[in-house]
């Protein structure tokens, strides 16, 4: 697993170099005009890649992983929301803030962009998703190669987190 991630990160480094550096904050010292390059996978042919992965609507994509199909009750279960909110706070807020883009994207409005299955698969096995799901792969690139951590969340816990996301319109 480690070896995979090392190889992967090496590839990623090469890729990042190819795409240009990070945005510099202007200071009293010297500054260089550098705009952030649009991140695009090299074998880019699909029209969907004109839109950054974080803004794409991929509701038909269920992702890769153990969650194949999931139907949501029209009514939001507040008990699950509470549990999901607590889990999100402990396991996810180091990188995901509701009110802003941080290390990773904000979960706000995610239900309008991603399918419930995709969201749960991403939480349950982010490494598999990054390897096999195009959108997850593009998100990784868009967010500077900060790989999402596997937090050993159970299916039931992931389902609660999903329910919590439903409240983040």
Residue 51, C-beta contacts closer than 8 angstroms, at least 6 positions apart = none
Q: How many CB atoms lie within 10 A of CB 118?
A: 25
Residues forming contacts to another protein in the complex (CB under 8 A) are 1-3, 5-6, 8-9, 12-13, 89-91, 93-95, 102-103, 144-147, 149-153
Nearer to another protein by Cβ, of 100 and 112: the residue is 100
Smallest distance from another protein to CB 98, Å? 12
Instruction: Choose between 51 and 146: whose C-beta lies nearer to another protein.
Output: 146
Nearest-approach distance from CB 59 to another protein, in angstroms: 29
CA pair distance 32, 30, nearest whole angstrom: 7
CB of 88 to another protein, least distance (A): 9
Task: Find the shortest distance in angstroms from Cβ 31 to another protein.
Answer: 20
Angstrom CA distances, 51 to 23, 55, 58, 131, stand at 20, 6, 11, 20
């Amino acid at each position: 697993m480690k070896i995979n991630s090392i190889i992967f990160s090496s590839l990623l480094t090469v890729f990042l170099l190819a795409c240009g550096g990070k945005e510099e904050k202007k200071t009293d010292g010297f500054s260089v005009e550098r705009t952030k390059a649009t991140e695009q996978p090299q074998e880019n042919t699909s029209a969907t890649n004109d839109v950054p992965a974080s803004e794409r609507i991929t509701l038909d994509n269920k992702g890769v992983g153990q969650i194949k199909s999931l139907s949501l009750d029209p009514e939001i279960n507040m008990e699950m929301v509470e549990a999901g909110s607590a889990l999100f706070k402990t396991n996810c807020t180091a990188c995901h803030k509701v009110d802003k883009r941080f290390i990773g994207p904000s979960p706000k409005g995610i239900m309008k962009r991603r399918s419930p299955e995709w969201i749960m698969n991403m939480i349950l096995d982010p490494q598999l998703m990054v390897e096999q799901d195009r959108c997850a792969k593009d998100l990784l690139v868009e967010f500077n190669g900060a790989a999402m951590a596997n937090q050993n969340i159970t299916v039931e816990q992931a389902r609660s987190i999903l329910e919590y996301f439903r409240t983040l319109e």
